[in-house]
Amino acid sequence: MELRKLEPGKHGRLVARLFVAASDYVQMTEGGTPGPAQAAGFFKGAPPGGDLAQSVKVGLFDGAALLGIADLAFGYPEPGDAYIGLMLFAPAARGQGLGKALLALLEEEARARGGETDVCRCGRGQYARPRLLAARGLRAGETFRTDQGRGAGAPD
């Protein structure tokens, strides 16, 4: 597996196909069917008050196959924070421990870019695997910060 930076012109169609494959997520979070809007929103999205230039969109690949995507923003909610806004996997890639693997890669990326704290909000109604949340010591609606237990996923 390899973590790669995603670019709209190069990877837009792959990301759009992933959203179509993950239509259950789109239905649950947006109440509709997936289309080009989700891929465009992924590439244009930043946290509230965040700077798109300070975020990175990444994909987890197995060869040429895109297994999952993530959005990692920097400077939100606090200046030294790295914020994971989205982690999404194709249904065929779910339940294989890839969420934990992608999260570890994102934490490495955040530290390499100077992120002092990784923050992930697991909102109520979000599609998150219960095992991934439980492994991080989380319940839906909680936030974890890796500076508390350094990667242990302690809720704040």
pLDDT tens by residue, 70-92: 998 888 777 777 888 888 999 99
Is residue 125's pLDDT more than 70? no
Distance in angstroms (rounded) separating the CA atoms of residues 75 and 127: 25
Q: How much is the pTM?
A: 0.76
Average pLDDT, the chain: 76
- On the question of pLDDT at 54 being above 60, the answer is yes
Domains of the chain by start residue, with CATH: 2-145 (3.40.630.30)
Query: Which of 51-65, 93-107, 117-131 has the highest average model confidence (pLDDT)?
Result: 51-65
> How sure is the predictor about 137, in pLDDT bands with cuts at 50, 70 and 90?
low
- Cβ(90)–Cβ(34) under 8 Å? no
- What share of the chain has pLDDT > 70, as a percent? 73
Give the Cβ contact number of residue 69 at 10 Å. Answer: 24
* Predicted confidence (pLDDT) at residue 116 exceeds the cutoff of 90: no
Q: Would you say residue 98 has pLDDT above 80?
A: yes
Amino acid at 126: Q
Average pLDDT over residues 112-125: 58
**pLDDT reported for residue 43:** 95
- Residue 156 pLDDT class (50, 70, 90 cuts): very low
